Chains A and B, each alone.
Chain A
Amino acid sequence: AQSVTQPDIHITVSEGASLELRCNYSYGATPYLFWYVQSPGQGLQLLLKYFSGDTLVQGIKGFEAEFKRSQSSFNLRKPSVHWSDAAEYFCAVAGAGNNRKLIWGLGTSLAVNP
């Protein structure tokens, strides 16, 4: 069965430090992968997506993610975190078939210390 695991429930980093949020997926075919961000009290916003091609994907707000098929991972990175990056981050993979459903991880909550 398809699944997405975000191993870290909560991460705290200092402002200016680098960030890596982990995402592992289980999927039999070529995955379509997404990272979303949810600021407090807001809806979800797409940060970036991977469908095919270059395995290093650039997104909005200075984020990037790298698809590693051998490790079934799609980790999100940012070289220098800003206080405004404090939010919940969700990884998702598109399910099989034509129903367009996404399989979601449980999210990683990011806190940023000044």
Chain B
Amino acid sequence: NAGVTQTPKFQVLKTGQSMTLQCAQDMNHNSMYWYRQDPGMGLRLIYYSASEGTTDKGEVPNGYNVSRLNKREFSLRLESAAPSQTSVYFCASSYAGQGVYEQYFGPGTRLTVT
């Protein structure tokens, strides 16, 4: 049981390049999330998917797109990377049913845009 996995672990991009961050979970969770973490700013939600087939914007969606490929996988795409997108990106997942459930996090992707 791997939990939440993310690839790649590290990435360096030049301004204007594109890339896709991959996330997969094997816990049969319905909901998945993408966060970015920057020093002094905590965790900020980029996009989330409450269930398979749905996606919604979080608080900082500009410059990103997402795809909920199936129940297991939720990818984050940077179409034209900018230095402001240098950050650590975390994927998370949670069960979705009656009530509230904790989120489980992946190990993160450290992205540098030069």
B42 touches A99 (CB 8 A): no
Contact of A94 among B50, B56, B100 (CB under 8 A): B100
Interface size on B (CB < 8 Å)? 26
Contact of A98 among B40, B48, B50, B104 (CB under 8 A): B50
Quick check: is A25 within 8 A (CB to CB) of the other chain? no
Separation of A51 and B98 alpha carbons in the complex (Å):
13
For chain A, the count of residues having a C-beta within 8 Å of the partner chain is 21
Of A14-22, A69-77, A104-112, the one with at least 4 CB within 8 A of chain B: A104-112
Stretch from B11-19, B62-70, B78-86, B105-113 at the A interface: B105-113
B50 and A42: CB pair below 8 A? no
Write the residues of chain B forming the contact surface with A, with a CB cutoff of 8 angstroms: 4, 31, 33, 40-43, 45, 48, 50, 56, 58, 90, 92, 94, 96, 99-108
